[in-house]
Structure 1
Amino acid sequence: MEITLSPKLTELTTLDWLVLFVTSGDNPTLSAEIPDEVADVVKRVATAGDLPKKSGETKQLLGLSESLPKRILLVGLGASDDVKSCEQERYRLFSIAARALCDQPKRQVAWVLPEVIGDQLDDSAQLELAAMALEAGVQSQAVYQQEPKKHPYQKVTLIGNSSDDENMIASGRAMGRAINLARDLINRTADEVTPVAFADRASAVANTVGVKCEIFDVAQLEAERMNSMLGVAKGSDEPPRMVKLEYQGNGDAPFIGLVGKGVTYDSGGLSIKPTDSMKTMKSDMSGAATVLAVMQAVAELKLPVNLRCYMGLAENMISGKSYRVGDVLTARNGTTIEVLNTDAEGRLVLADVLCYAVDEGTSKLIDFATLTGSCVVALGEDYTGVFTNNQEWCDQLMKSAEATGEKAWQMPMCDSFNDQLKSDIADCKNVGSRWGGAITAAKFLEKFVSDTPWIHCDIAGPAFRTDSKPEREGGASGVMIRSVVNLLKTGVS
């Protein structure tokens, strides 16, 4: 796909589609770049009362005269006195526009970008968002269908203003590719994305973007005392792996660490899940896919940051070798863990990987995991649950999430929840009671980060969706990638 920027719309008749963003009402606000003959068509539609009335609504105009584009897509901005120029809303609208034409003939397309109102966004940032939405918007979760229902654009001309068009388009496309990387990994089946296959994909990404990659096999994991993670993996014929990627873009500055849960399939183990709960368990490696995608974006954008990404990859399966309820595992830092639920396996994988990241001297940590159903019960499917041992560090991530429009909500981390994790025979249990399960899971992880500033992101709700909306398809979402890259781009204090 070719994406270019032009200050004016010159060619009309060669366009398969012209995309316009319009306000509602009988006197819509139109960009000055729209030619008079196109504006006349829009005004006639407005007079008839047929413009999109709400923000995000669309209307297709077909059968136009030969002097006009073959087709026009109108995307609603809402009422003229209620138009929002924030990043969240513009990215949503651009995603709707990109997805609206996924199944349409679209060899030559032009978008007339809407006017930026206020100081929440500038023309360059809007251009970046448009390129990101175009790159990410047409990828489908239907990766195994013989006849794809969605087709990439061949050429898109964005009509607008920016003093840094090439860099902003390149930046937006890099972010779109990162989101697509995570979504593609998560949407593929677990028999394809095994721990070894995921590690190989990570190695290929590292080679492409030029970052260091180290893959730990079973013997190396044993040597590193990763017994908690190895315990989870015992029941599977697929061997576990840990992947470490390293990018050094800021000299001798301290490294920030990202840790991802990569359970490539979770049957629940001997605490087996019901069938309906297993349907989407190929997505239980969303945390690992998230950190891999962030690393790809950071390296492609050449951000001035030092970053290490760690992915703990394992399957949680059933066999005669599976770890059992009642077993005691010893984590890398020596903590003994009484296993009272083998379906609380993600925290056991993360425990060792977090310890490893801390032992390497990582200055700050964020982990990502589809960790608990309790978090979804508490916050719903749209929100990431955020937990921390360092409020200043957490505030930086929350500010970045707010800027990008990704929904995150900080949860309490009261020490009283530690009482639920007390064991009569070991240092702790791997589960608490049914109450506050997302919090007890976070308190469990806290035992493995020492005093390193740390944030835990429970993405169980938004990581994989079974419903679709105009701005996004069902399946993997790529949640929190934009927020974390924005955090690293704007600077970590």
Structure 2
Amino acid sequence: MNFELKKEHLHTTSADLVVVGCFQDTTPSMQAADGGKNLDKLFDAKLSEILKHSAFGGKLLETQTIYTHKIIRAQNILVIGLGEKEKLCLESLQLLAAQIQREALKLGAKTVALVLEEKKIKKFSAEARLSAMVQGFLLGSYSFNRYKTEQENKPQLTAISFLCSSTKKSLHTAIDTARAIADGITLTRDLINIPSNDLTPTLLAKEAEKVAKRHKLFVDIWDEAKIKKEKMTAHLAVSQASAEKPTFIHLRYKAKNAKASIALVGKGVTFDTGGISLKPPKGMWEMKGDMGGAGTVLGIMEAIAQTKPNVNVDAYIPSAENMPGGKAFKPGDIIRARNQKTIEILSTDAEGRLLLADALDYASDFKHDYIIDFATLTGGAPIALGELYAALLVNDEQLGKKLLASAKATEEYMWKLPLEQKYLKTIQTGPADLMNAGGSRAQTITAGLFLSQFVKDKKWAHLDIAACSDTDKDSLLCPKGGTGALVQSFVHFLHSFSGK
């Protein structure tokens, strides 16, 4: 799908379909800024007349198609509802782009043109609106059908033209950035959607190597022997009953003039049965997505390798399968993590924090300004926050503010929970230093407290993405499956250090 900036007008462009918008009103009218009023004049006000006598009210995503009778070069005009003007946001712009694409394909259009107004609308610059719409077009076309025996030959838009008086560099950069973010989100979605027989720890490592090769990043893959040499006993405990060997993945993006060093750690459990603490059969198939943290980290690396923030970013991914069997670790076992803390296993289904414990300890050995981990960690996160929000826990308030600011700027969903130290005792009452589960109350917080014991004195944040890494509903922007949540906000976060 190509995106073009053109110094043209709607009535002269060669696109198959031209698009104008109307804000919601009792009597919606054509807008001057997007060329709608000029088109109406060419049609002797017949466009307004058609809208007046139709049920069109300008509600968000509402559409009205008008045949042009060759009065202009385009075959059809699509009038689309923009909703209430005061509620215009980046998400609504993404939805509008996805809806335009859907309507264009219904009409058999291959090319689409719409006007990009260069002045701000509300607080949104032309660049921000352009980026949101490009993402909407790309994400709205996402599908995961690689396992279909008969591939559908779905029609695709070939070009979207944004008509404007200027084609300045910042607009081209906005397109490139949007495409990079969409690439990252697409990769994350794909990885979450791939079944575990095709995404073992070894195959996840190969996916990481593909990212590194594409963008010339440093990559280092550890096998079981190297993990053992690094004394990552907690990591190894999770994998010891699986026929699939564990891996530890390290990717590095290095900036030319780095302003900071950031470590991203992603939980990579490629399938989680719960181990001896076996999960119920219903819904267990969803546990192919228990590597959502790893998928998110790889999606971020895919995006920033293209957008190039002025920060160094190291990605660490501990990966394993959690299976039952004669060699499985068991409830009641006590293991010693890489940092020498002992952990009593109350539930083998609380395995993700064991992988993260060793990975966080390893990342803490280096001079990172911040360490941030991502994990589909607790069932408590969606109970507390529903299906949209990532739960955020931090040991540094300034880091928390920066992350929340990036989520707000990109309109992604993140909510800060307290890292309440009084709850730490609930996982310290056994015969070991720590227990790997703390009961049903405040389980997202106690999981965060557990991880906090492995970051030394580093500034650290934990994101529990159990609620938002996948969805069981189809939408305009995302079909059922992996969502790619937080990739966009972390591109913003990493660029916030450099002002880019």
The alignment's TM-score, normalised by the length of structure 2, stands at 0.91
Q: Quick one: which of 309, 312, 315 aligns to 1:306? A: 312
| SS at 1:153 equivalent | coil
Task: Note if contact 1:242-1:310 (Cα within 8 Å) is conserved in structure 2.
Answer: yes
Task: Note if contact 2:145-2:151 (Cα within 8 Å) is conserved in structure 1.
Answer: no
Q: Following superposition of structure 1 onto structure 2, how do residues 247-326 of structure 1 map, counting pairs within 5 Å?
A: 247-251=253-257, 253-326=259-332
Unpaired runs of at least 5, structure 2: none
Query: How much does 1:459 deviate?
Result: 0.8
For residue 159 of structure 2, what is the aligned residue in structure 1? 155
| SS at 2:22 equivalent | strand
Task: Note if contact 1:366-1:457 (Cα within 8 Å) is conserved in structure 2.
Answer: yes
Quote the Cα distance in structure 2 between the aligned partners of 1:211 and 1:236: 30
Task: Note if contact 1:45-1:51 (Cα within 8 Å) is conserved in structure 2.
Answer: no
For residue 129 of structure 1, what is the aligned residue in structure 2? 132
Task: Note if contact 1:107-1:155 (Cα within 8 Å) is conserved in structure 2.
Answer: yes
Structure 1 counterpart of 2:378, which letter? T
Moved over 6 A (4+): none
Structure 1 counterpart of 2:412, which letter? E
For residue 450 of structure 1, what is the aligned residue in structure 2? 456
1:58 aligns with 2:59: no
CA offsets 1:385-420 (integer angstroms, 9 cap, x no match): 110000111100000100110011100111111111
CA offsets 1:277-301 (integer angstroms, 9 cap, x no match): 3131111111111111111211111
Quote the Cα distance in structure 1 between the aligned partners of 2:391 and 2:217: 30
Cα 1:282–1:148, aligned 2, differ >3 Å: closer, same or farther? farther
Query: How much does 1:118 deviate?
Result: 4.6
Cα 1:118–1:427, aligned 2, differ >3 Å: closer, same or farther? same
1:208 aligns with 2:209: no
Cα 1:205–1:416, aligned 2, differ >3 Å: closer, same or farther? same
Task: Note if contact 1:12-1:67 (Cα within 8 Å) is conserved in structure 2.
Answer: no
Once the two structures are overlaid, the 10-residue window that deviates more, 268-277 or 481-490, is: 268-277
CA offsets 1:209-259 (integer angstroms, 9 cap, x no match): 111011111111001111111111112111111111111114465421011
Query: How much does 1:129 deviate?
Result: 1.9
Q: Quick one: which of 73, 82, 86 aligns to 1:77? A: 82
Cα 1:96–1:325, aligned 2, differ >3 Å: closer, same or farther? farther
| SS at 2:403 equivalent | helix
Cα 1:293–1:338, aligned 2, differ >3 Å: closer, same or farther? same
1:45 aligns with 2:45: no
For residue 343 of structure 1, what is the aligned residue in structure 2? 349
Task: Note if contact 1:87-1:120 (Cα within 8 Å) is conserved in structure 2.
Answer: no
Once the two structures are overlaid, the 10-residue window that deviates more, 235-244 or 35-44, is: 35-44
Quote the Cα distance in structure 2 between the aligned partners of 1:373 and 1:431: 12
Identity %: 32
Structure 2 counterpart of 1:5, which letter? L
1:376 aligns with 2:378: no
Cα 1:8–1:219, aligned 2, differ >3 Å: closer, same or farther? same
Cα 1:232–1:100, aligned 2, differ >3 Å: closer, same or farther? farther
Query: How much does 1:13 deviate?
Result: 8.3
| SS at 1:366 equivalent | strand
Task: Note if contact 2:266-2:374 (Cα within 8 Å) is conserved in structure 1.
Answer: yes
| SS at 1:409 equivalent | strand
Quote the Cα distance in structure 1 between the aligned partners of 2:233 and 2:107: 52
Once the two structures are overlaid, the 10-residue window that deviates more, 173-182 or 38-47, is: 38-47
Cα 1:23–1:412, aligned 2, differ >3 Å: closer, same or farther? same
Once the two structures are overlaid, the 10-residue window that deviates more, 136-145 or 213-222, is: 136-145
For residue 477 of structure 1, what is the aligned residue in structure 2? 483
Quote the Cα distance in structure 2 between the aligned partners of 1:224 and 1:374: 32
Once the two structures are overlaid, the 10-residue window that deviates more, 379-388 or 314-323, is: 314-323
Query: How much does 1:60 deviate?
Result: 4.9
| SS at 1:292 equivalent | helix
Once the two structures are overlaid, the 10-residue window that deviates more, 46-55 or 306-315, is: 46-55
Unpaired runs of at least 5, structure 1: none
Query: How much does 1:33 deviate?
Result: 2.8
C-alpha RMSD over aligned residues? 2.4
CA offsets 1:30-81 (integer angstroms, 9 cap, x no match): 23434344794642332024325422x232526552345334443321135x
Quote the Cα distance in structure 2 between the aligned partners of 1:38 and 1:357: 65
CA offsets 1:82-128 (integer angstroms, 9 cap, x no match): 352x4343334334434555676342222334676555211122222
Q: Quick one: which of 428, 439, 445 aligns to 1:439? A: 445
Query: How much does 1:204 deviate?
Result: 1.1
Query: How much does 1:12 deviate?
Result: 6.3
Once the two structures are overlaid, the 10-residue window that deviates more, 248-257 or 134-143, is: 248-257
For residue 245 of structure 1, what is the aligned residue in structure 2? 251
Once the two structures are overlaid, the 10-residue window that deviates more, 245-254 or 292-301, is: 245-254
Task: Note if contact 2:266-2:375 (Cα within 8 Å) is conserved in structure 1.
Answer: yes
For residue 143 of structure 2, what is the aligned residue in structure 1? 140
For residue 9 of structure 1, what is the aligned residue in structure 2? 9
Structure 1 counterpart of 2:48, which letter? K
For residue 33 of structure 1, what is the aligned residue in structure 2? 35
Cα 1:13–1:319, aligned 2, differ >3 Å: closer, same or farther? same
Corresponding pairs, count: 490
| SS at 1:215 equivalent | strand
Task: Note if contact 1:195-1:315 (Cα within 8 Å) is conserved in structure 2.
Answer: yes
